Amino acid sequence: MVETQQGISTFLSFGAKSVKPEILEELLIGRQDDINYLTKCVGEIADDGINHQIIVVGQRGMGKTHLLRVLYQRSQSFLKDKKLMIAYFSEEEYGISGYLDFLIRVLNAFIRWNDDDREELNKQMDILRETHPSRQIDTAENIITNYIGDKPLLILAENFDDIMQALGKDGQGKLRSFLYRHSRTSIIATSQALSPDLGREDRPFYNFFTTIYLKKLSYEDSLALLRRLAEMEGKDKNNVVIKHLQSKGIAQVRAMHELVKGNHRLLVTFYEFLKADTLATLSKIFIKTLNDLKPYYETFIRYLPPQQQKILHYIALAKIPQNGTEIGKNCFIEQKTLSKQLSELSRRNLIDAITDPDDKRNKLYDISEPLLRISIEIGEHREGISALFIDFLALYYSFDELATQKNRFENLWEYETNPQLKEDLWHDVKAREEAIDLKIRLETNRKWSKAFLKFKKKYEDKDYKIAIKLAEQVPENERSEEYYGRLGYVLSILGKYEMAIEVHKKALQFNPKSVVLWYNLANLFGTLKRYKESIEASLKAIEIEPMQNSLIWYNLGVNYYEIGEEKKAIEAYIKATEIEPTKWLAWENLGVIYAEKSNYAEANSFFHKSIETGADFIKNESWMPKKEMLLCVSDRIIFILQHEQNLTIEEAKHLENIIEKEYEMPKELEIPYLYLKTFRRFVLEKEEKALLELPKEQRAFFVREILEKRKIFAQN
């Protein structure tokens, strides 16, 4: 082999063909079935005297070069044993203008990959050059057949659709004839799309090949690939990405996976996203990545006929799916020409045809890859690149996700002290706000049935009883995740929990990876005391986003507690507090569990946290009556005074301070505050008169319930 082989960094910059084979083998994730099948086929060609004619079809960046490179590497043993000859074409076979060029490529491939035979083959090439043009094809065929002798020949070629086009009907006929005359020749080739010539009855290769369609990476594959990349990169450096991918990074992988639609190459490009510390940094990397990808996407478009370019630009900039009439009108293309161009763009996997929900006889057309749309927009946006980031957010994230992100950034912004980071966070808040606005505009422009729009309106107006009636009128084809999600929520508000559960299950069929839906479902089960099912649903949500949502962990803790699994409940509450250290409910419940177990030391420490975080809870959560919550805090203060033998003056003052400043001394906490202060002065600072300053009835309670019980607990 003559090509220099590079390491992982080359892989990250797309050069699969020049990366070390062992690295490629390790990174071949999501293609194991395909590569094993192809390897088996090569074995059969070499050992069993049979042929295979296979085309592997996949979009750009789906790992075709990678696959073929690994296949070539796996075939080395057959080459060494001289059971097989392989002509492995280079990826970009430019300059094939006919059948003779194809044969020359076969000879060049022999020369490139076979050091031992290079000299002799070059001599044969010289003979070919000297041969009269009318006989060069015959001579080239003969050089090839003489060289391979009685061994089978396997041609490994990429971009076979381009080769077919370059060969033309005449060249294809000659190639087919060669294959039948030299019947130990096999072709395993890759192609971005199935050449139309393979499906046309009047073409030589009509239905000649077995087709393997490469599947897009699943989410699990994407995660596995990025982890493998991180591990391999981490061999050289102290890689933080490995750790990141075990926690928060998992959610980011989901975003990236959705964004690149399971495309290997793009996923690898977006690997750098994982190194972003904050979403603010993400926006910078996003811009850089898009600029880097622009030339790549331009190659999608550059070689298209002008009319197809126009159509693609129009659909991309329209943002929402467009019907044929609009496309024709805006691109100044007649309808009869338009349909041919649209079907060609569909065949090339550049646009998707969707049935019009208003009129099933019509089709709407949309760009197949979100990144292609954004890349086209780069050259069109007057507002510059920041608008694109907002588009990216709006296209990818749901309303709920954007709202959550906005809240999160607002919180971070509030507490950030570094001016530069504070400014970055502020940009992120604004970006989410604008993305939400844009999403509303896009949704408004989308063609929905009147029934669906009315249903949404009533839902947003919280007129749930009417909404539920309107829901029945929504056409079947609009009953999506959004529809079932909203309907499920309406049913749960109206107390129809069983029905709400069934509707949530339907919503999950559309998007089994929706954390919100699993979370809601867990709550519904919990409400119906179906704790085990609730736990299952919570675990599903956690599987998708392990470290994103403290509420899910909290609910999991509650359900484990209800079925007596205290240890698991504690673990779940701890997770909740790790994600959200201000999670009052979790601290509170942890304290309760330990108190029940008479482990007062632990209980006290959790109740301290509970008191510290309670004020924040009152400010942000309105679902729990404030009075009820404050009485709970009051109880915890008394509990600490009763049980904590080592309470220090500073700790007591700290608690007093929280009640004064954070809780702003509400009525419900006035007396516990008084007890706390008295305790500090009388017990810790030994100030005798402090007890006497308490009103009589409170003094009696203080002595009986705090001082006496404290002695009893101390003895125990």
Partner 1 sequence: MTPYKIPPTTGPMPVDKIVGRLNEIEDIYQHTMAGSLVISMIRRMGKTLLLQKFAYITVKENRPNKAIWFDLMKVSDVTELTDTLLMELTKHKKHGWLKVQFNWCKELYNKLKPPEVKVSTGTSYLPEISFKLPEFKTEWKKALTACIEDLAERKAENDEVLTLILDEFPYMLWQWILNKKVQNVIELLNLFRSLRMSLQEKEKIRFIICGSVGLDVVLNHLRSEYKYTAEPFNDTKSYVLEAMSDTDATFLCECLALSGYTFVDDKMLCIELICKQVENLPFYINKTFEILRSSSQSQISLQNIKNALNELLTNVNDDDVFEQLDTRIASYYPKTESDIMLGILDYLSIQTIAKEEDDILRSVDFTPKEVKSILRVLCKDQYLNRTINEEKRYYQFKYEIFKKWWKLNKA
Kindly tell me which of 188 and 429 has the beta carbon lying closer to partner 1: 188
Residue type, position 263, single letter: N
Of residues 174, 540, 575, 608, which one binds partner 1 by CB under 8 A? Answer: 174
Kindly tell me which of 195 and 283 has the beta carbon lying closer to partner 1: 195
Of residues 115, 170, 236, 463, which one binds partner 1 by CB under 8 A? Answer: 170
Of residues 55, 212, 225, 501, which one binds partner 1 by CB under 8 A? Answer: 212
Is 547 buried (19+), middle (13-18) or exposed (0-12) by CB count in 10 A? Answer: middle
Residue type, position 106, single letter: V
Contact assessment for residue 669 and residue 636, using Cβ atoms and an 8 Å cutoff: no
Kindly tell me which of 57 and 551 has the beta carbon lying closer to partner 1: 57
Residue type, position 223, single letter: L
Minimal distance in Å, beta carbon 157 to partner 1? 15
Of residues 4, 80, 132, 336, which one binds partner 1 by CB under 8 A? Answer: 132
**Cα dist from 245 to 7, 226, 248, 354, 542, whole Å:** 22, 8, 7, 35, 15
Largest CA distance in the chain: 123
Of residues 16, 28, 41, 85, which one binds partner 1 by CB under 8 A? Answer: 41
**383 forms part of the interface with partner 1 (CB under 8 A):** no
**210 forms part of the interface with partner 1 (CB under 8 A):** yes
Kindly tell me which of 56 and 268 has the beta carbon lying closer to partner 1: 56
Is 294 buried (19+), middle (13-18) or exposed (0-12) by CB count in 10 A? Answer: middle
Minimal distance in Å, beta carbon 212 to partner 1? 7
| Residue 476 to residue 480: CA distance in whole angstroms | 9
**661 forms part of the interface with partner 1 (CB under 8 A):** no
**355 forms part of the interface with partner 1 (CB under 8 A):** no
**143 forms part of the interface with partner 1 (CB under 8 A):** yes
- Within its chain, how far is the Cα of 154 from the centroid? 38
Identify the DSSP state of 387. H
Identify the DSSP state of 207. T
Contact assessment for residue 357 and residue 375, using Cβ atoms and an 8 Å cutoff: no
**202 forms part of the interface with partner 1 (CB under 8 A):** yes
**163 forms part of the interface with partner 1 (CB under 8 A):** no
User: How many CA atoms, within 13 angstroms, populate the side-chain half-sphere of residue 573?
Assistant: 25
* Residue 74, number of CB atoms within 10 A of its CB: 17
185 DSSP β-pair partners: 153
Of residues 19, 31, 42, 52, which one binds partner 1 by CB under 8 A? Answer: 52
**201 forms part of the interface with partner 1 (CB under 8 A):** yes
Segment 293-312, which members bind partner 1 (CB under 8 A)?
A: none
Minimal distance in Å, beta carbon 151 to partner 1? 12
Instruction: Classify 357 as helix, strand or coil.
Output: coil
**454 forms part of the interface with partner 1 (CB under 8 A):** no
Of residues 200, 288, 529, 532, which one binds partner 1 by CB under 8 A? Answer: 200
Identify the CA nearest to 193 among candidates 153, 218, 219, 165: 165
Instruction: Classify 186 as helix, strand or coil.
Output: strand
Kindly tell me which of 116 and 130 has the beta carbon lying closer to partner 1: 130
Identify the DSSP state of 650. H
Residues 6+ apart with CB under 8 A from 309: 301
**179 forms part of the interface with partner 1 (CB under 8 A):** yes
**198 forms part of the interface with partner 1 (CB under 8 A):** yes
**550 forms part of the interface with partner 1 (CB under 8 A):** no
Instruction: Classify 564 as helix, strand or coil.
Output: coil
Instruction: Classify 605 as helix, strand or coil.
Output: helix
Segment 91-130, which members bind partner 1 (CB under 8 A)?
A: 124, 127-128, 130
Kindly tell me which of 170 and 380 has the beta carbon lying closer to partner 1: 170
Residue range at the interface with partner 1 (CB under 8 A); choices 181-189, 252-260, 561-569, 631-639? 181-189
Of residues 9, 97, 177, 648, which one binds partner 1 by CB under 8 A? Answer: 177
Residue range at the interface with partner 1 (CB under 8 A); choices 199-207, 332-340, 390-398, 585-593? 199-207
* Residue 346, number of CB atoms within 10 A of its CB: 15
Report the 3 state secondary structure along 74-127. Answer: HCHHHHHCCCCEEEECCCCCCCCCCHHHHHHHHHHHHHHHCHHHHHHHHHHHHH
Residue range at the interface with partner 1 (CB under 8 A); choices 143-151, 365-373, 657-665, 691-699? 143-151
* Number of chain residues interacting with partner 1 (CB under 8 A): 51
**216 forms part of the interface with partner 1 (CB under 8 A):** no
Interstrand relation of 210-213 and 351-355 (parallel, antiparallel or unpaired): unpaired
**131 forms part of the interface with partner 1 (CB under 8 A):** yes
**51 forms part of the interface with partner 1 (CB under 8 A):** yes
Question: CA 25, 162, 370 angle in degrees (round to 5)?
Answer: 70
Residue range at the interface with partner 1 (CB under 8 A); choices 70-78, 81-89, 206-214, 696-704? 206-214
**180 forms part of the interface with partner 1 (CB under 8 A):** yes
Kindly tell me which of 183 and 420 has the beta carbon lying closer to partner 1: 183
| Residue 275 to residue 249: CA distance in whole angstroms | 9
Minimal distance in Å, beta carbon 383 to partner 1? 40
**146 forms part of the interface with partner 1 (CB under 8 A):** yes
Kindly tell me which of 209 and 682 has the beta carbon lying closer to partner 1: 209
Kindly tell me which of 48 and 628 has the beta carbon lying closer to partner 1: 48
**40 forms part of the interface with partner 1 (CB under 8 A):** yes
| Residue 17 to residue 10: CA distance in whole angstroms | 9
Residue 632: both structure tokens together: 């709970």
Give the binding site for partner 1 (CB under 8 A).
37, 40-41, 44, 48-53, 124, 127-128, 130-132, 134-135, 138-139, 142-143, 145-146, 169-170, 173-174, 176-181, 183-185, 198-202, 204, 206-213
